[in-house]
Structure 1
């Protein structure tokens, strides 16, 4: 009998990695691969209540709160949440929970942020539907999806040897298609490119090829239907 639990293994893995992630997090958000996310979010999403789903050590949630948003960060890892609580203030709090079944009420948030979170979910569509449930009728989602050669995707490699893996292989274009098919309208897209990619490399490339060169593709979507509607 196979007792493997994707969710439990994901929690265990991020509990183990919490301190290492925390040591690099602030630099990533301010100067590294995540530096463009907060400006992209604030450009397209009005101020209101935000659920940061897969918030990690909470630094991104904290930055959003400094921009005037009311933020609740959620992560599956207890150790990540414990680190995140160091950033709590009147505008940002943190809870432990699963993207497949969040501890939030229907329509509780004006927007959600999920940066490199859906890659760690066994059933991404269920997570998207759960996000729709907790959003207001005209709610927004900001999503970051890893590019095909981003190093964290190595976590999906064990599947090729018939072993269990806790990172799915969803590509940015697949996420875009999934969201648009299931009740989301695309508002904006931006890309954070891998080191070595320059504007000269991007000339005349299709959007799909630009996504392929990205480390993260960022999307803003707007909710158009309720949970589970097609």
Structure 2
């Protein structure tokens, strides 16, 4: 049987939908994602149309809509999108199922994009980044979070060392930054989300690469030039 990365990713995230739905509100309100939307708001003007790519059950999209954005959420999992639609849908908050490397949107459809921990589930991350560029307006900004070296989900990719087929990329934050710069994005800012035991102020004096090496997630702001 032929291994199809994105079909496997869809199946796995359908299988994780119940767990994600149980935990997503806590992650966004109190946990690892609580700093993301305040960080995004510093660089993305209220009122614009924002795509939330890899939206899961839609709680992050819901929070964006409450902050005054018009939001379209997208996820590869049909189950996730069904859960998102059942949470809330209105004229300013819509959801659709789709693949990050083949987005079902016209060119230059969005003023900004939020994409948290989804690019690492793409077989060729460059293709996902290019699709984001295609659907983003000129001068639009991308808030993107990438798993750091200490993130537990990286265990999903461990079996690659045996030659097994896996669906989690081990791309590092500094690799994403380099790829983005090489492909025409402007780096605006970034911040780290650290695991328990590491205080942000303790790492503040380190070089950026060392800060990133301690993170559960690094969140970037890039601008389409």
TM-score for both structures, normalised by structure 2: 0.97
1:108 corresponding residue in structure 2: 109
TM-score for both structures, normalised by structure 1: 0.95
Residue 200 (structure 1) shift: 6.1
Structure 2 residue 49 is matched with structure 1 residue 49: yes
In structure 1, how many angstroms separate the alpha carbons of the residues matched to 2:24 and 2:120?
18
Question: Which consecutive segments of 4 or more residues in structure 1 shift more than 3 A?
Answer: none
1:218 corresponding residue in structure 2: 219
1:4 corresponding residue in structure 2: 3
Deviation track 1:38-92 (CA, whole Å, cap 9, x = no partner) reads: 1011111113011111100000001000011000000000000000012212211
Deviation track 1:91-138 (CA, whole Å, cap 9, x = no partner) reads: 111000000001101111001111000010011111111111111111
In structure 2, how many angstroms separate the alpha carbons of the residues matched to 1:24 and 1:153?
19
2:144 corresponding residue in structure 1: 143
Q: Which moved more, 1:167-176 or 1:195-204?
A: 195-204
Residue 203 (structure 1) shift: 5.0
Q: Which moved more, 1:126-135 or 1:202-211?
A: 202-211
Gap runs ≥5 in structure 2 = none
Gap runs ≥5 in structure 1 = 225-230
Residue 149 (structure 1) shift: 1.6
In structure 2, how many angstroms separate the alpha carbons of the residues matched to 1:199 and 1:214?
10
Residue 199 (structure 1) shift: 4.5
2:70 corresponding residue in structure 1: 70
Deviation track 1:127-178 (CA, whole Å, cap 9, x = no partner) reads: 1111111111111100001111200111111101110000011000000000
In structure 2, how many angstroms separate the alpha carbons of the residues matched to 1:55 and 1:199?
27
In structure 1, how many angstroms separate the alpha carbons of the residues matched to 2:58 and 2:204?
36
